[in-house]
Amino acid sequence: MRRSSVKSFLSAQAFQLAGAALAASAFFSSPATADEIVDSAGRVVTVPSHVERVFAAGPPASVLIYVLAPDRLTGWPRALRPEERDYVAAPYRDLPELGRLTGRGDTVNLEVMLSAKPDLIVDFGSVRDTYVSLADRVQAQTNIPYLLVDGRFDATPQALRLVGGALGVGDRAEALAAYVEDTFRELDTTLAAVPESERPRVYLARGPDGLETGLKGSINTEIIERAGGINVAVDPARQGITRVSLEQVLAWNPDTIVTWDPIFYEAVWSDPSWASVEAVRRGRVYLSPTAPFGWIDRPPSLNRVMGLKWLSRVFFPDRFPDDLADQTRAFYKRVYHVDLDEDALNRLLAWSRGRKP
């Protein structure tokens, strides 16, 4: 599950160590004028009327801020890798790596975050009590307003409008929200005619051995159902990311496997332990592009809209006969601010067919 661990940043010691830096910051976030915004958790947050610098609490938020107002992003949670750079607009490829407050991986260095001088922190994902507590605590300790934004896939249009309003880019937010709503509506109209018996039974294979997956209901796998598939990984008592056994995968026997791990993708075709899985026998294992952000997850943010277009065509090629190249080029221009040249576009499409660049 995204943001499965709340970092040591929460510890009192970390805040004590940062005390001097906080004092020196002179509360740079204090605005001359400010607006009150109700975030997705129902918190009333006082946000500067003009937000110039935004710290993304995690990777999903960094994508959200980038697509809305890239000039406000103070840095990436993780620096872009070489194969990702062509898919991000040039001025923002070299933004510094700042770490993150939430999610798996490195813990943000508090002094690094403060040195970026954000006047707003945005987190995009779960709005459970754990993250409300984190947001309240960070906001109280730093005097930097902290917005919690619902990251569920179906709530994407609302998230765009909420953050777009906070950043003063309401027109772009509205245009993107309408685009996402149109995408959902067109997809739902087509899928309404697909009976349950014709929907693929899908397993999401994470990690090099393919034995990490997302249980039905997880924010990391909701794209499967959104694209018309059926997630075979069901545990009525749990959601989120989990490890499973190969025996469990064999028992589920999915007819379709989706992965973004090239190691697993290369190995699964010749690994005898996977040979009897229906998806492997039928050649229905698909490698998802990950540049600049994963098409189906990693992070669970706006990038999933592109993944939705791709995955629905993987599941139902006869019902979505339009050109994926046209869809990809249009998405990257509209959402990621980049005009893909033929080489960059072809690398992405080749990746979606299993040839990682």
Express each pLDDT in 78-93 by its tens digit.
999 999 999 999 999 9
Q: Band of the pLDDT at 303, cuts 50, 70, 90?
A: very high
**Residues 201/256, Cβ–Cβ less than 8 Å:** yes
pLDDT at 10 exceeding the cut of 60: no
Does the pLDDT at position 14 exceed 50? no
- Residues 155-196: tens digit of each pLDDT: 999 999 999 999 999 999 999 999 999 999 999 999 999 999
Contact 88, 154 (CB under 8 A): no
Task: Evaluate if pTM is beyond 0.85.
Answer: yes
What value, to the nearest 5°, has the Cα angle with vertex 266 and ends 205 and 63? 50
Bridge-based pairing of strands 120-125 and 54-56 is: parallel
Q: Indicate the pLDDT class of residue 137, thresholds 50, 70 and 90.
A: very high
Q: Which long-range contacts link 308-314 to residues 24+ away (Cβ below 8 Å)?
A: 308/183, 308/187, 308/223, 308/226, 308/227, 309/183, 310/352, 311/223, 311/224, 311/227, 311/229, 311/258, 312/187, 312/190, 312/191, 312/227, 312/228, 314/227, 314/256, 314/258, 314/286
β 212-215/240-243 pair status? antiparallel
What is the pLDDT at residue 356?
Answer: 65
| Least-confidence region, from 24-28, 269-273, 338-342 | 24-28
What is the per-residue pLDDT for 233? Answer: 98
pLDDT value at 8 more than 80: no
| The pair of three-digit structure tokens given for residue 122, joined into one six-digit string | 């945005």
Q: Give residue-wise pLDDT tens across range 187-220.
A: 999 999 999 999 999 999 999 999 999 999 999 8
The predicted pLDDT at position 16 comes to 42
* Cα 94 → chain centroid: 20
The DSSP string of 177-246 is HHHHHHHHHHHHHHHTTS-GGGS-EEEEEBSTTS-EEEETT-TTTHHHHHTT-EE----TT--EEEE--H
pLDDT given at position 335: 98
Is residue 229 a contact partner of residue 223, using CB atoms and an 8 Å limit? Answer: no
Q: Which long-range contacts (CB under 8 A, 24 or more apart) does 172-179 make?
A: 172/68, 172/69, 173/68, 176/67, 176/68, 176/302, 176/334, 176/335, 179/334, 179/335
144: closest CA among 66, 16, 56? Answer: 56
Is residue 3's pLDDT more than 90?
no
